[in-house]
Amino acid sequence: MDLSIIIVSYKSKEHLKVLLPSIFASTKKYSYEVIIVDNDSRDGTAEAVSSLLPAIPNLKLIKNQNNGFSAGNNLGIAQAQGKYILLLNPDTKVESSTFEVMLDFMESRPDVGVSGCKLIKADGKLDVACRRRFPNPLNSFKRLFLRDNKNYNYTDVDKNLNMEVDSVVGAFLLIRKSVIEIIGTLDEKFFMYGEDLDWCWRCKEAGFKVWYYPKTFIFHYKGESSRKAPFIMLLAFHNSMWIFYKKHYFGKYSVALNWLVFCGIYLRLGVLVIINLFKSEPRISK
């Protein structure tokens, strides 16, 4: 098996109706399996996928409690047979050549442990999260409070530039299974958000490159799962910031700065909770 595609679903039945046909219509140069981990959707997602199983032998369904994005993906990884593992969001749609282009690239670059392609949002604009520098106190402050994400999201670099980056996004994250055997699976302390940054950090620590490869793209109808439980996801989003900071920066900075970072994260959370109370459609991130 060349590729294991892992999709963690939460109330994503309608999106899977778009995503799965795009996967099955993809080029067949490489063999693949699709593993759907349903995080207790209770919207008919599991039943809809189950109805497809007899006719599609390379489709698997894992029914799971909702214990987070990282834990759900780890369940899929444990059953994956592929040389490569792809984390793919349910609110996406792939192009017919996406898998072939990305696997051709990975086969040609054994020094690359993780890669991601270009992600296009529903409005036709680039999802800037598809290539990121690691967050640190300075660029996080600029991004979260000054709305300046140039240093964080490489918005100062041509979106079509094939380049090494700090991190790609978990909505489309292609990783070698051999790298997972070295660095371990996703850290389940991250319920949702931040687990991709942490995985890419560990990949680079192990000596592998993380690569943004914009020679192909997928559509990302961003934030659909988050809309189902916006306040829970808002909390998870901010918790992930603190978990990442504690794991990778806490011991490098003074007590005063650590306290300032903690207060800044959760002050922002409180402000956004209040703002979202007055919004008809709360959002987590752009």
Residues 130 and 168: beta-carbon distance below 8 Å: yes
Which alpha helices (DSSP H) does the chain contain, by range?
13-24, 45-50, 69-79, 98-108, 137-145, 150-153, 177-183, 195-205, 224-228, 230-248, 255-277
Number of Cβ within 10 Å of residue 260's Cβ equals: 14
pLDDT in tens, 232-285: 888 999 999 999 999 999 999 899 999 999 998 898 888 888 887 877 666 565
CATH match of 3-222 with 3.40.50.970: no
For the ranges 96-100, 229-233, 280-284, the lowest mean pLDDT is seen at 280-284
Question: Given this model, what pLDDT does residue 273 score?
Answer: 86
Please work out, in degrees rounded to the nearest 5, the angle formed at the alpha carbon of residue 166 by the alpha carbons of 161 and 171: 80
Per-residue confidence (pLDDT) for residue 277, from 0 to 100:
81
pLDDT surpasses 90 at 40: no
Give the alpha-carbon dihedral of 6, 8, 12, 13, to 10 degrees.
50
pLDDT band at 223 (very low <50, low <70, confident <90, very high): low
Question: Got the DSSP string for 127-154?
Answer: -GGGSBPPP-HHHHHHHHHS---HHHHT
Total count of residues recorded for the chain = 286
Q: Is the pLDDT of residue 102 over 60?
A: yes
CB 216 within 8 A of CB 98: yes
pTM score, two decimals? 0.91
Q: What is the pLDDT of residue 151?
A: 78
Domain layout of the chain by residue ranges? 3-222, 227-277
Half-sphere exposure of 85 (CA within 13 A, CB side): 26
